[in-house]
Amino acid sequence: MASERLNRLKPFMLPIAMVGGILFYPWMGYLQFLSPYLIFTMLFITYCRLDFRHISLGRFQWVLLGVQMLIAASAYLSLAWVNHTVAEGVFICVFIPTATAAPVICAMLGGSLPKLATYSLLCNVFVAIVGPFVLALIGDTQYGFMESFIMILRMVMPLLLGPILASLLIRNALPKFHEAVKAHQSISFYLWAVSLFIIVGGCVSFIINHYRPEELWTMIWLAVGALVVCLLQFKIGRMVGRRFGDPVSGGQGMGQKNTVLAVWIALAYMNPVASIAPASYIAWQNIINSWQIMRHKTSSLS
């Protein structure tokens, strides 16, 4: 009975989490330290079901990465002559690598976990190596290449590799525990709801705290630009993925971004106002993800 009631509640949990984050945003500063731990745990649970023998780098990953970089360059070049700050903000929303939590959502939606896990690794390593060069060209920074490279790696690698290594360790050292975790993948959904509550609240808090009346229209265009490229990336990613038989992995790989890293890069390398774009992207991508998960859960329950 309890599990049936919980299943009925599932379609409403993510909207409740987002509304709760908006309402309780002033207190998110006390909870944001939990986000990395929640993401690590979700990834650990997800990777426990991953057969690492199926991970291989192929055309799917390279084509997706190439399309992503082409959209990033096009977005910047088309907007730079209109408003350089908007161009920077929109560019970073596309250029930034796939979110470390993307495989969790991909698995929830029935996509290929090995494909997306491989793409996440490729994309994050690529941005860590190429990013400092690109950002030096378009941004305004006091950081050198090696310093930037090390700082970006420090932000992405622990959450990228840690859960993989932990799942491999548990698989070999505690096989019964590993099987138990593998059999309870639904825990990730509830952890995602808690994480979403914190992320949305943090996003609202960030935008309010960085509001500048004299930059109002620039901030509006940054938020609108983030929405446009968010929708575009999910759509194009699904189109690319469909050609390889996996639209879900394509959409999540290109659309779901490491927005924490994006905000940091915007603040460190660009006009600080440009950080409104990735902060807004947090809300847009999580609204899309919540809608996808609700639709998937509803169809699976019917």
> How distant is the alpha carbon of residue 225 from its chain centre?
17
Where do the domains of the chain lie, and which CATH numbers do they carry?
Answer: 15-294 (1.20.1530.20)
pLDDT score recorded for residue 144: 64
Higher pLDDT: 73 or 195? It is 73
Across 186-192, average pLDDT:
77
Confidence of residue 69 (pLDDT cuts 50, 70, 90): very high
- Whether the per-residue pLDDT at 1 is higher than 60: the answer is no
**Which are the contacts of 264, defined by CB distance < 8 A and separation ≥ 6?**
155
Residue 120 three-state SS: helix
The token pair at 139 is: 């941004």
Cα gap 106→111, rounded to integer Å: 5
The token pair at 244 is: 């390889």
Name the CA dihedral angle for 153, 37, 275, 73, rounded to a multiple of 10 degrees. Answer: 50
Give per-residue pLDDT as tens, 126-135.
887 787 778 7
| Buried/exposed code over 226-239 (b: 16+ C-beta within 10 A; e: otherwise) | bbebbeebbebbbe
Across 1-28, average pLDDT:
72
Average pLDDT along the chain:
82
CA angle 86, 263, 291 (to 5 degrees): 90
Question: Which of 200, 159, 226, 204 shows the shortest CA–CA distance to 286?
Answer: 200
17-21, 39-43, 172-176, 239-243, range with greatest mean pLDDT: 239-243
57-66, 184-193, 269-278, range with greatest mean pLDDT: 57-66
Confidence of residue 65 (pLDDT cuts 50, 70, 90): very high
Give per-residue pLDDT as tens, 140-154.
656 666 776 777 677
Higher pLDDT: 9 or 181? It is 181
98 phi and psi, to 5 degrees? -60, 140
Task: Please name the residue that has the structure tokens 């890293």.
Answer: 261
Cα gap 10→28, rounded to integer Å: 23
Q: Enter the pTM of the model.
A: 0.78
Higher pLDDT: 69 or 127? It is 69
Q: Which amino acid is at 161?
A: L
Alpha helices for 210-275 (secondary structure H) = 216-243, 247-255, 259-269
pLDDT score recorded for residue 71: 94
Cα gap 16→275, rounded to integer Å: 26
User: Which sign does the torsion angle of CA 64, 68, 73, 75 carry?
Assistant: positive
46-50, 144-148, 242-246, range with greatest mean pLDDT: 242-246
Give per-residue pLDDT as tens, 162-183.
888 888 899 888 888 888 888 8
* Other Cβ atoms closer than 10 A to 211: 12
